[in-house]
Amino acid sequence: MDNLNPVTIIIIAANVIISYRGFGDFSFFEKYKFNIGGIQRGEKIRMFSSGFLHADTQHLLFNMLSLYFFADVVINILNPLQFIIIYVGSLILGNLLSYYFHKNEYSYSAVGASGAVSGIIYSAILLQPGMKLMFFFIPIAIPAYLFGIGYLLYSIYGMKNKIGNIGHDAHFGGAVGGYLITLFLAPWLFQTNILMIGLLALPIVLLFVLKKMGKI
């Protein structure tokens, strides 16, 4: 991890330490996970702390690997402070969207850095849309912007059909956070990447249209 920025190392370390504390301490895990009932009782810290807890080692590893691959794109084009702003803002916005969709489900709970990591991924795609991504199940490299659009469309599908034990709404909200905060921090993108800004906005608009129509 010598080539990683110290900020990325600190965030990964915080996730590992806090997640492993949660693995071995049920009361700690329950106190700081995202939970609608707890938040409605005034425990707002859960909106932040839940982003550093994970369900198991596999969940933690997947999120930290995803962060590892995309963090430097954002840090190198912007700067470490702006990276932190995007990470934390995406975490919070992901949980806010999750709260919005589940506010009447008192027992709904979730954990994970997925919202924050989704924000970093979407920020990296916005900053460098032409980069190519490879996946184990796809034999060819695909443009990052196609992955970003597909990722959010799948998140909408997952939200609509409640697929798996996955917080699709937090993923989506985090990606929206990464999109909006990056545009705020890097307004020059409106001169250089206006087409990509429009393309990457399409799934976001679609979600809110579907929500307004009562389809989600």
Burial bucket for residue 188 (CB in 10 Å: 0-12, 13-18, 19+)? exposed
Q: Are 149 and 200 in contact (CB under 8 A)?
A: yes
- Asked if the model's pLDDT at residue 96 lies above 80, the reply is yes
Question: Which pLDDT value is given to residue 116?
Answer: 96
pLDDT digits (tens, 9 = 90+) for 195-212: 889 998 988 888 888 877
Each residue's pLDDT tens digit, 6-23 = 999 999 999 999 999 999
User: Would you say 70 and 113 are in contact if contact means Cβ atoms under 8 Å apart?
Assistant: no
User: Has domain 6-212 been given CATH number 1.20.1540.10?
Assistant: yes
Q: What is the pLDDT of residue 151?
A: 79
pLDDT value at residue 101? 87
- Let me know: does 74 contact 123? Beta carbons within 8 Å: yes
- Mean per-residue pLDDT over the chain, rounded: 89
pLDDT tens digit sequence for 48-76: 999 999 989 998 998 999 899 899 999 99
Cα separation, 113 vs 51, whole angstroms: 4
Q: How many residues make up the chain in this entry?
A: 216
Q: Is the pLDDT of residue 105 over 70?
A: yes
Please check the confidence at residue 77 and state whether its pLDDT lies above 90: yes
> Domain map of the chain by residue range?
6-212
Task: Return the higher-pLDDT residue of 102 and 137.
Answer: 102
